[in-house]
Every structure is written in structure tokens, then in C-alpha cells.
Amino acid sequence: MSVPKKITPEIVAEHGLSADEYKLVLEIMGREPSMTELGIFSVMWSEHCSYKSSRVHLKKLPTKAPWVIQGPGENAGVIDIGDGQAAVFKMESHNHPSFIEPYQGAATGVGGIMRDVFTMGARPIANLNALRFGEPSDPKTRHLVSGVVAGIGGYGNCMGVPTVGGEVNFHASYNGNILVNAMTVGLADSDKIFYSAAAGIGNPVIYVGAKTGRDGIHGATMASAEFTEDSEEKRPTVQVGDPFTEKLLLEACLELMATDAIVAIQDMGAAGLTSSSVEMSSKGGLGIELDLDKVPVRETHMTAYEIMLSESQERMLMVLKPEAMDEARAIFDKWELDFAEIGVLTDTGHLVLKKDGEVAADMPVAPLVEKAPLYERPWIPTPLQAEIAARDVPAPNDLLAALKTMIGSADLASRRWVWEQYDHLVMGQTAQRPGGDAAVIRLPGISKALAMTSDCTPRYVFADPKRGGAQAVAETWRNLTAVGAKPLAITDNMNFGNPQRPEIMGQFALAIEGMAEACKALDYPVVSGNVSLYNETNGKGILPTPTIGGVGVMADVGRMATVAFKAKGEKVLVLGETRGWLGQSIFLREIQGQEEGAPPPVDLGAERRIGDFVRGLIEAGEVVTCHDVSDGGLLVAVAEMAMAGGIGATLTTPAGAVEAHGFWFGEDQARYVIAVPAKAAEATEAKAAAAGVPVMTLGETGGDALSLDGRAAKLAELRSEHEAFLPRLMGAA
């Protein structure tokens, strides 16, 4: 069957390996590799699996804190949330597959990230997703939005895990390369976390879950190359998801994890059986021998090469205690899933693969991992843009008319059309639904809750990667704070262009620097992450997009703030300093048609001081209405609070403020709008002053309109503008 194939330079190039990398392969092997071996090198050394361009920079991120149980390097990060409980979470991209086949690409992205989380022993309790599409007018956009949203819903809804948050942006730079970043948060007992390091020579290696097919072969390699016009031909490299099988796999794995049977477990994600077997054996410092004839397959005549590189979904690899085999088999039989003993751990340090009675591969594991290429790619800093003063930006005739345009624009319009397609209520623990600053999920049986959010402002990162990187981290921290949670840690999903271009590598390096600074200043380490490079089509890169997923905890879900105004006659205050920063603002882009200037500075000291103060008010039960100020500035924030609560407000531009349009639409950081009962306002202001937190009164809640300096806009009118964009774009009511 297996005709030995001569490895030509063309074959090497098709596998995404450079001539130098192939030379290293020859050195490690001491001979010419077989096709299967070459395939394994190819995926293990792909950008996606090896982080060869990004590792030197990622090392700069802080990953430790007393509450970090597991930082980057495992399937997902793990943090201690007290009471013997742990939160397990990670975000991962599925960009290229989603562009080629939006429904399946997005669905399997969701499936993959959930698997990463339950592999660690956690039950997934929430999903989030950060989506970036091209311009609304691009001919492919509607097709992509429709498919991606349906795919995310199709998978998450069936799994019975609520999809509770995320973000959606539109920008021309994503026309040929959308971003689909999926995040899952899970809950585990902090002393029952499962890891992937194999142990115990002679222990059986077990394959469970769905059968292996020919789908997704070389998915990881595809994710490590640029797109061209003929990328559609790569559709066969996109995997096909089956959430029903994954639901069974989830329940079976958690049932097995409640016993004492598992030594190590690793999901088969990118690079499938290859990366799972290599990772398990390399982390355990052992060899592994697999008999590929025993792998459950759904197609006939699959070769060793195909079996090892398939990215069929819903599969897991485990090392079990031999004495627990019967118990484990019974559980997988109950859930009607394949359970196959396909190999054994050895002391050889080699990965040995047998197929049809022949050895298809025999390669040393340690050098395959440790000698993986590592590049310190040349980079140049992004030229900084000039600051734009509010007085140099023309003022609109009517601030409320500008507000209407802005809240109806692609980036600020309501996302209801999206999240109503996601089951955000299953499990019955959703304390804060989509549409607020952060989603809040209560933990079963207690009043403690987790808050979660995902954020990034790519236009800031593009203009100033360092500032933008810090801002993305700070914004997640602020969003968690605004609901009353204590932010604990983040996961990062770095979406960038081609790292072989020095200006792209510069964006990457500087964004990491900014993120690292923010993480350190806020005691907010990185515990997991994913890097997606080569997000380019025909040489045009996306806006650099380091999506940050943040997780925080609150002791009592009864002390939670939401954005909605709750009562009339309350005072509306802004905490934090407003200087009217219009550079890179939504106002500048949507009203003036300019996408330029330096983005707002991020003062991490102020961020922390003001955030801690706001959280204190919420924890004390003094504030239940709070909204972070971000895209669109103050007036957009207040309008969102009014629309959410169905209660208007009367606002006055404070005397001595900068230009009114700068004041209301500037995107200065570290600010929150709160509403407090009128009789409590004075005390709140005094406390703020004592804490060194700038505070200013904006107005008072009440009525069915938003009034500003004598002009008014009805809430109903604002709401219809705000809600119209997506239904209109997607042609649906």
C-alpha cells in the first residue's frame, strides 16, 4: 500500500517548511523522513502549533499571581476563585476556516475551545465570542455574518452552554480575512484539575469520541499561511462539527473525571492526533507507540499520514490507569462513544506509529518539540500619529443628531440580532445577559458569580500598538469592574498579519509591551492565549487585533451593577477625567469621516484608583447603575443607559468643560458613568474627592427623552436608530 515517496523540495515547500527548517528535520532524524514524519514536523512546526514567531515576545507577559493555578502552556488557564473552586478559561481563533466556510468554521471554533476547557476537568458554564467582519457594504459580509452567527449558535446552543457575551466590529481591513475568536469559561474544583503530561510506562493510551475522517487535514498549516484568491479551494481543510457528539463527549469525560481513572488527557484540536500524542509524551518525558489500525475511522483506506493529520472534531486522547479500563469503557459505552485502546506509553522517548504491520514513523519526541524553530523576526516600530485637539475638530450643529448617527452606526448599533440567536439562558444561572458591560454567571447553589468580557479596540492598536495593547487589557478590567466584579486574569487572542513583515512584527511586539504593562499595573496576569498570524489576503493585513478575554469574581450576585437606569430623579455622575480626546474616536470616524490621530492615553494608575473606587461603591450596595465609558464617549454611554432602562435624562454640558463635542464624544479612558439617588449624590461626590477620583455631575434621570442643553431626542427614536442597523443589513425583521 504505502509506496515510499521521495521527498522533493516541492513537497517540503507544500508542507510549509523552509529549506533551513527541513535541514533541521534531516539533522534530527539522521535520515530522510517518511511522508508521515514530514507531515508531523510540518504541523508541529507550523506557526499555529509552535508559536515560532511569537514566543520571544509572549515571554514578556506576566503570567503569575497567587491565584493562578495554571498559566499558559496547558489546554486552558486556571485560576482560584475561592471556596475550593477554580475558573478555567481560554480564547482561541478560528479565523481562516470561518472565512472559507463560515458556519462550520465558527461552529468548530466554539467546539474546540469548549473541549480545551473540559479537558481540564471543568464544566463549561459560558461562551463568549469576538467577531470582526469587513465593511457592511462588502459583498461577502452578509454571508459571513449570517454563517458565523448561525454556526456559533448551532454549536453552543446544542451543547447547552449559554453564549453570554462578546463583541462585533466591522472594518474594511477584515474584508478578506474575518476574525472569529471564541472563549469558554468553565468551573472546576480547584483540586480536581486534569493535565496533559503522560506518566507511567506501559499505561494504555485511549482514543475516545468521534471517528477520524479525512476532514481538516493540514488545518494548522493553513492557519499559518496568508490567504490568496484561491483560498476557497481550501474548503476541504475546514472541519465539520457535530455538537451532539461533543455534548456526549463532555458528559462522558466529566463522568470519567469524577472517578480516579485518568492519568493524563488531551483533546485533539489543531493537528489532531499528532499534537495530542506529541504533547502528552513530551510533557511526560516519555515515548509513545500507537497502532493506527486501531484508530476508529469513518472512511476506508486512510493512510498513516491522513490519520495523524486529520482534524476531525470531538475526539480526545487519554492515558488511563490499567486497572480502571473496564470502568472507563462502561462510561463511554453508556454515552455510545468510541473507546479504543490505540497504544501504550514507552521508555524510548520516541513516537512510533504502526500501520498495516509496518512502521510508518519513528521519531524522537524531545527534539521535535524542543528544537522547533524559534524566530526573533526583525521588527520596526509603528510611526506614531499626531494628537488631535478637540478645538481643531469641527463641532456638529446638533450633538443629539450626531449621537443618533453614531448609535446607529455599524460599530455602536445594538447587537440584539446576533445574541438573540444564541441561547444565553440555558443552565438558569445567567445574572447579566448580553448587552451590558460584562456578562455575569452565578455559580450553582451559591451567591458567588463570575463576570466575563472580551474587548479590543483595533483602531487604537493600529494607530499606536503599545497604547492600544494596554487599552484592550484596561477595558476588560473596567468592564468587569463596572458590574462590580474583581478582575482576576485574562486570556489573549493575538490576531495579526504576516510576521515576516517588520511593520507587522512591530505591531505585535509593541502590543505585547502595552499589554504587559497593563497586566502588571492591574495585577491581572495572562493565564492562557492563542496567536493567529498571517491574517492577510493578497498582502493586505488586518487591523492588529489583540482580543482580550477577562474574568473576574463577585462574592454576591445580589450586589451587581447594570447599565440600565433604574429610577427617575437620580443624579448622573461621571467618575474619571474628561479631557475631550477625539483622536481615533468613533465621533471622528462616523461624523467627520476621519480615521486618524493618536488614540487616548491609558493612565494605569488612574485606571486602578478609579476602578477600585467604583467597585467599592458597588460592593457596598451604594451603586447599582454603572456603565464604563468607551467607544463613542460619554453621551453614547448615557444614551445606552437610558435606552436599557427606558428612562430618559436631562443633561447639561458642565461649565468650563472643553469643547462640547469633545466633552460628550471624547474617548478618554478610565471613566464610568453612575446614577445614584439624588440625596446620596453629595456623599458619593465627597467620597470620590477623598479618594482622589475626579467626579462631575452630568444631569438627572427622568422622562422619556434624552435632553441636552435644551434640545431633546425621544428614547423611542434613539432606540429605533440603535436597533435598526443589523436587521436592516441582514434583511430580517
Partner 1 sequence: MKAAIVVFPGSNREVDAKVALKQATGKDPVMVWHRDTSLPKVDLVLVPGGFSYGDYLRCGAIAANSPVLREVKARADAGMAVIGICNGFQIVTEAGLLPGVLLRNANLKFVCRNVGLRVETSGSRFTAGYKKGQVLSVPVAHHDGNYFADPRTLDELEAEDRIAFRYCGPEGRLDSIYNPNGSIRHIAGILNKKRNVLGLMPHPENAIEPMHGSTDGKALFKSMVEAVS
Active-site positions? 48, 94
Neighbours of 296 (CB within 10 A): 17
Among 69, 125, 248, 695, binds partner 1 (CB under 8 A): 248
Alpha helices in 121-242 (DSSP H): 141-159, 219-222
Nearest approach in angstroms of CB 333 to partner 1 is 11
- The site map against partner 1 for 8-47 (x = CB under 8 A) is ----------------------------------------
Radius of gyration of the chain (CA): 26
Query: Please, which of residues 339-368 interact with partner 1 by CB under 8 A?
Result: none
Q: Identify which range of 173-181, 198-206, 241-249, 370-378 contacts partner 1 by CB under 8 A.
A: 241-249
Q: Is residue 244 involved in binding partner 1 (CB under 8 A)?
A: yes
Among 13, 26, 425, 683, binds partner 1 (CB under 8 A): 425
Q: Is residue 427 involved in binding partner 1 (CB under 8 A)?
A: yes
Exposed/middle/buried for residue 605 (C-beta within 10 Å: 0-12, 13-18, 19+) = exposed
Q: Is residue 442 involved in binding partner 1 (CB under 8 A)?
A: yes
Nearest approach in angstroms of CB 72 to partner 1 is 31
Q: Is residue 247 involved in binding partner 1 (CB under 8 A)?
A: yes
Query: Please, which of residues 393-412 interact with partner 1 by CB under 8 A?
Result: none
Rounded Cα distance, 536 and 41, in Å: 24
Q: Identify which range of 293-301, 385-393, 422-430, 499-507 contacts partner 1 by CB under 8 A.
A: 422-430
Identify which of residues 159 and 473 has a Cβ nearer to partner 1 in the complex. 159
Helix, strand, coil % over all residues of the chain, rounded to 5: 40, 25, 40
Q: Is residue 728 involved in binding partner 1 (CB under 8 A)?
A: no
Q: What is the 3-state secondary structure (H, E, C) of 28-81?
A: HHCCCCCHHHHHHHHHHCCHHHHCCCCHHHHCCCCCCCCCEEECECECCEEEEC
Query: Please, which of residues 557-596 interact with partner 1 by CB under 8 A?
Result: 557
* Nearest C-alpha neighbor of 223 from the set 27, 46, 478: 46
Query: Please, which of residues 115-174 interact with partner 1 by CB under 8 A?
Result: 150, 153-154, 157-160
Rounded Cα distance, 339 and 731, in Å: 46
Identify which of residues 223 and 439 has a Cβ nearer to partner 1 in the complex. 439
* Nearest C-alpha neighbor of 620 from the set 569, 560, 703: 560
Backbone angles phi, psi at 353, to 5 degrees: -120, 130
Identify which of residues 228 and 421 has a Cβ nearer to partner 1 in the complex. 421
Q: Is residue 243 involved in binding partner 1 (CB under 8 A)?
A: yes
CB-based contact 507:496 (threshold 8 Å): yes
Identify which of residues 260 and 420 has a Cβ nearer to partner 1 in the complex. 420
Number of residues that bind partner 1 (CB under 8 A): 30
Q: Identify which range of 127-135, 191-199, 418-426, 594-602 contacts partner 1 by CB under 8 A.
A: 418-426
Nearest approach in angstroms of CB 720 to partner 1 is 14
490: left (phi over 0), alpha (psi -120 to 50) or beta: beta
Q: Is residue 450 involved in binding partner 1 (CB under 8 A)?
A: no
- The site map against partner 1 for 519-558 (x = CB under 8 A) is --------------------------------------x-
CA distance between the termini of the chain: 57
Identify which of residues 124 and 599 has a Cβ nearer to partner 1 in the complex. 124
Residue 462 identity: F
Nearest approach in angstroms of CB 428 to partner 1 is 4
Q: Identify which range of 96-104, 416-424, 508-516, 525-533 contacts partner 1 by CB under 8 A.
A: 416-424
Exposed/middle/buried for residue 592 (C-beta within 10 Å: 0-12, 13-18, 19+) = middle
Identify which of residues 400 and 641 has a Cβ nearer to partner 1 in the complex. 641
Among 426, 555, 691, 724, binds partner 1 (CB under 8 A): 426
* Nearest C-alpha neighbor of 142 from the set 624, 729, 562: 729
CB-based contact 549:453 (threshold 8 Å): yes
Residue 492 identity: D
Q: Is residue 338 involved in binding partner 1 (CB under 8 A)?
A: no
Identify which of residues 241 and 600 has a Cβ nearer to partner 1 in the complex. 241
Rounded Cα distance, 731 and 142, in Å: 9
Q: Grid coordinates in use for 442?
A: 452565578
Identify which of residues 324 and 427 has a Cβ nearer to partner 1 in the complex. 427
Segment holding 345, helix H or strand E: strand 338-346
The sign of the dihedral angle between the CA atoms of 713, 714, 715, 719 is negative
Q: Is residue 627 involved in binding partner 1 (CB under 8 A)?
A: no
Nearest approach in angstroms of CB 493 to partner 1 is 25
Identify which of residues 151 and 546 has a Cβ nearer to partner 1 in the complex. 151
Nearest approach in angstroms of CB 426 to partner 1 is 6
Helices and strands of the chain, counted as H and E runs = 25, 28
Summarize as ranges the residues that interact with partner 1 (CB under 8 A). 150, 153-154, 157-160, 242-245, 247-248, 335-336, 419-428, 431, 442, 557, 732-733
